Amino acid sequence: MKETYYIAPFLIDIVDFVEPISMGTFVIRRITTDERNKFFNVKSFEVKQDGRIEMEFNASQGPGNECLYDMYSPNEMESFRTDFKMKMCNFIIECNSCDEPEKVHKEFNNMIFAFRLYRSGFVCAPTLISFNRVAYSHPQYVRNNDNYKINTEEISEVKKIYDAVCLTTNRLLLDAFGEFNDCVDIKANIKKSFVGLVSIIELLFINGSNEISLRFSLLVSYKLSNILGYRVNFDEIKSMYKCRSDIAHEANSKLLTGELLGKLELYTRTLLIWYINNYNCKNYNKEEGLLEVRNKLNI
């Protein structure tokens, strides 16, 4: 099979970027002026000293121009915001591959997911193009609108996640990856997201169905505070599980806030990355030392 060239605009801010970065078969590099014109109909782009961005657009779009105006957005305001943000993207993902297109698309999605899992923020590469045509388009915009900033040292950690995502055959992890993507998606209902994020932690760390609230609160608070260094206690995690139960059984919860959802997303992200790095360890057990944990927490 002949090599095929793929290219995609990549919305991300690599703060200390110096040279192209490899990840699997893909390379991340700076976007050129010609590519900005090709993708977004932008004739010129300049960042002023005061931080303002000035863009000049071409008068018309010629045939075959790969302008990305058809990216999915749930409403007009969201469409405008996303479209404008993408015009400001400074990076390109590209690769030459002899693999089947489906394999390239899967690894492309895995790379975007690895960045999304590593840190919260608006990171996306909505369209993969080959032979001047859209070869794959599945935007998966996230709810968090914050600029996604990362440095090259941190990208080495993203690479580890990417490798694990590509290589794993662990059914629990694959299910958790899919659920996490759904929970942080811009289209996701926040109640469903909250329940889904809790379910990821249950899936990876909790056995059986007895006293789930207690065991969930014990293990999660212990792992976050004693192993991962977060300032979190048993009662905080217990209230999260109560919120999940309220939503699941009563369709609502007075405990649910954007701040609580943000904390839960952070904790789920951290625990999922920890699981990726540790589930193959011989001494890993979902609920090892539960009584010891309970005694340490004086519960």
pTM to 2 decimal places? 0.85
At position 164, the amino acid (one-letter code) is: A
Task: Give pLDDT tens digits along the chain (299 positions).
Answer: 688 999 999 999 999 999 999 999 999 999 998 888 877 777 777 767 776 767 777 765 543 344 444 444 445 445 545 666 777 789 999 999 988 989 999 999 999 999 999 999 999 888 888 876 777 766 678 888 889 999 999 999 999 999 999 999 989 899 999 999 999 998 899 999 999 999 999 999 887 777 889 889 998 998 999 889 899 989 999 999 999 999 999 999 999 999 999 999 999 999 999 999 887 765 555 555 555 555 555 55
| Beta strand extents in the chain (DSSP E only) | 4-10, 13-14, 21-23, 26-30, 42-47, 53-57, 91-97, 127-130, 133-137, 149-150
Are residues 73 and 79 in contact, defined by beta-carbon separation less than 8 angstroms? Answer: yes
Give just the sign of the alpha carbon dihedral 243, 248, 249, 252: positive
What residue has token string 């790379």? 111
Give yes or no for a contact between 41 and 63, defined as CB atoms under 8 angstroms apart: no
